[in-house]
């Protein structure tokens, strides 16, 4: 039998969607009780029931003498200027773990760049923060990597760090694309969320300094837990992003240092190329 | 009365989610009819009914002698390395239009960076491609911009181009964040899609070359129509992104030339700063 949704549930649902969609953000005042009464043509007790439900779920909190404000929630941040999977975590004591769910040789579908239609090493991994899954990663690698990078070596580890430490080939860059998609039934189960939940999908390829392919990957992140940061100049200038990592994400401090050197060299190359491109552009336009 | 979903609808729905979630991509073969019969324990006629429904909706097409493959669909691409709203469009004859839905002075909520708690110029705009809405943009601007940038001047125009042409202040950069969120009822109506549909949200601030604030914005893009491109070096090196635009997106060819010069100068500054940062990083690590 179809159940008609009570009005207080509808009001709470509307406000929840506005908060989850970031029309209302942490610290923002919700519309006043009086305004909500007018907007929905309901009594004050109905509005209070809706606000109490949002408060009980932790989405809003009472602010002394000001009404209800949107509560803040912890979020994982990923820097898109970096090529790797490292995250700037909201809290110092966040533990990131990585499970290897699948590791096998398989025929890559035609659509997989560089690997389509060939047999390749296929990984499915899951990343969690304090035991809560936030990302599922599907990766295709050259098949002979299987001889060197074992399944066990990827547990609670960074694949990019393994490229550098085992193969001696640091990730120097690659194409990346970002999309918002709904969770499939399988991804929803792996990420402990509902089918259809918005996921932030990052996909692309990574190459080494010579431009040789290292991996083709897709990473589905839970939209309610993860945000990507993109810093454009000039605000990006004061920081050196590859040195900004926190302990706990990187499994090996020594490799972090070597990666930093690799990053610095790669950045000098990028800088010089940007200057050359800019001069070419000026010559074409002046 | 609750209706039990027929099996062919469930199979079609599962495959649709796998395509929309990009587990299966354009050109990929779907599992064979025999494999689907086994996976769902159904007859071949049920599987054929599911595939026919996907074919009718344009998601898949028959490939002679190979089975069903995922069809390609047009997508708008936005380059995150660029600061503006320009898009690399899938087809030459795409017409982008911009409506100004709201234009007023209003008190910015506390959460709005730079403008929170002050009266500012507030814009709500909608972008469409060939008449199909793909983005809703909410922008906060310094209140005195209202004297110079009129509502009419923003119709079918780029705000960043107006900053340059009217104020003489080109956007030089700024912080950007990307998230996947569900559509609110209001955004769903504006974007002609269902409430809860995954949207790709880009938000941040833009500053001029002196680092002075120009705008704080949130742009909700339809996840099924828009993808963001992020090129990391070295694959990004051969292109000069700010010269890669197509006619029709930019309202004014002359301003495009001036923007290109601004972009070139900004890029030289970025390049030099990257070199300086890299050298500092090397000195700290060697």
How far are the Cα atoms of B105, B106, B140, B186, B279 from residue B102, in angstroms, in the given order? 10, 11, 11, 14, 48
ipTM of the complex: 0.76
Pick among A212, A230, A284 to test the B interface (most B CBs inside 10 A): A230
At residue A282, does pLDDT exceed 80? no
> What integer pLDDT is reported at residue B74 of this predicted model?
80
pLDDT at B220 over 90: yes
User: By CA distance, what is A256's nearest residue in B?
Assistant: B285
Average pLDDT, chain B: 81
Domain annotation for chain B: domains and CATH numbers: 7-70 (1.10.10.10), 76-270 (3.40.1410.10)
> Phi and psi at residue B191, in whole multiples of 5°?
-95, 5
Nearest-CA residue of chain B relative to A240? B277
Q: Residue B189: its chain A contacts at CB < 8 A?
A: none
A183 has a pLDDT exceeding 70:
yes
Range ranked top by mean pLDDT from A1-5, A250-254, B197-201: B197-201
Distance CA A152, CA B252 (A): 57
The answer to whether the CB atoms of B198 and A176 lie below 8 A apart is: no
pLDDT confidence tier of residue B237, bands split at 50, 70 and 90: very low
Mean pLDDT of A103-112: 94
Please name the member of A80, A234, A267 whose beta carbon is closest to the beta carbon of B172: A234
Least confident of A79-83, A187-191, B106-110, B162-166: A79-83
pLDDT at A236: 36
Nearest CA in chain B to A71: B111
pLDDT at A79 over 90: no
Q: Which of B273 and A195 is assigned the larger pLDDT?
A: A195
Looking at the complex, does the CB of residue B185 fall below 8 Å from at least one CB of chain A?
yes
Q: CA geometry: angle at B248 spanning B247 and B250, to 5°?
A: 85
Scanning B84-143 for CB atoms below 8 A from A yields 109-111, 138
The answer on pLDDT for A263 being more than 70 is no
Does the pLDDT value for residue B248 go beyond 60?
no
B206 Rama class: left (phi>0) / alpha (psi -120 to 50) / beta: beta
Tokens of B48: 């054929």
Alpha carbon A46 to chain centroid distance? Answer: 38
Higher pLDDT, B94 or B48: B48
B271/A274 touch (CB, cutoff 8 Å), yes or no = yes
Chain B CB contacts of A278 under 8 Å are 240, 263-265, 267-268, 271
CA A209 distance to own-chain centroid: 25
pLDDT of A97 over the 60 cut: yes
What pLDDT band is residue A1 in, cutting at 50, 70 and 90?
A: very low
* Residue-wise DSSP of chain A: ---PPPHHHHHHHHHHHHHHTTSS-TTPBPPPHHHHHHHHT--HHHHHHHHHHHHHTTSEEEETTTEEEEPP---EEEETTSSS--EE-SSTT--EEEEEEEEEEEEPPTTSTTTTTSEEEEEEEEEEETTEEEEEEEEEE-GGGGGTS-SGGGTTS-HHHHIIIIIS----BEEEEEEEEEPPHHHHHHTTS-TT-EEEEEEEEEE-TT--EEEEEEEEEETTTEEEEEEETTTTTT--GGG-PPBTTBS-HHHHHHHHHHHHHHHHHHHHHHHHHHHHHHHHH-
Are A185 and B235 inside 8 Å of each other by CB? no
Q: How far is B195 from chain A (nearest CA, A)?
A: 9
Q: Answer whether residue A165 shows pLDDT above 80.
A: yes
Which residues in chain B are closer than 8 Å to A24, comparing Cβ atoms? 109, 111
In whole numbers, what is the pLDDT of chain A averaged over residues? 81
**In this predicted model, what pLDDT tens digit does every residue of A12-37 receive, in sequence order?**
999 998 998 888 888 889 999 999 99
């Amino acid at each position: 039998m179809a159940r008609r949704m009570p009005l207080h549930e509808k009001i709470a649902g509307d406000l929840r969607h506005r908060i989850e969609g970031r029309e209302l953000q942490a610290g923002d005042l919700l519309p006043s009780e009086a305004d909500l009464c007018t907007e929905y043509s309901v009594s004050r007790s109905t509005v209070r029931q809706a606000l109490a439900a949002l408060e009980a779920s932790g989405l809003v909190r009472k602010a002394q003498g000001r009404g209800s404000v949107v509560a803040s929630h912890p979020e994982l941040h990923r820097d898109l200027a970096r090529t790797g999977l490292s995250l700037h975590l909201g809290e110092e004591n966040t533990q990131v773990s990585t499970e290897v769910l699948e590791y096998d040789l398989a025929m890559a579908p035609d659509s997989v760049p560089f690997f389509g239609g060939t047999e390749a090493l296929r990984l499915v991994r899951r990343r969690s923060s304090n035991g809560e899954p936030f990302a599922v990663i599907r990766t295709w690698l050259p098949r002979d990597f299987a001889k060197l990078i074992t399944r066990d070596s990827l547990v609670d580890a960074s694949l990019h760090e393994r490229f550098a430490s085992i193969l001696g080939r640091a990730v120097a860059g690659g194409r990346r694309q970002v999309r918002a998609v709904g969770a499939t039934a399988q991804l929803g189960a792996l990420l402990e969320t509902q089918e259809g939940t918005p996921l932030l999908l990052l996909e692309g390829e990574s190459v080494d300094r010579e431009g040789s392919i290292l991996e083709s990957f897709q990473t589905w992140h839970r939209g309610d837990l993860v945000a990507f940061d993109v810093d454009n100049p000039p605000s990006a200038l004061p920081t050196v992003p590859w040195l900004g990592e926190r302990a706990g994400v990187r499994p090996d401090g020594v490799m972090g240092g070597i990666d930093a050197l690799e990053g610095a060299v790669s950045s000098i190359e990028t800088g010089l190329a940007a200057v050359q491109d800019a001069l070419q552009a000026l010559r074409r336009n002046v």
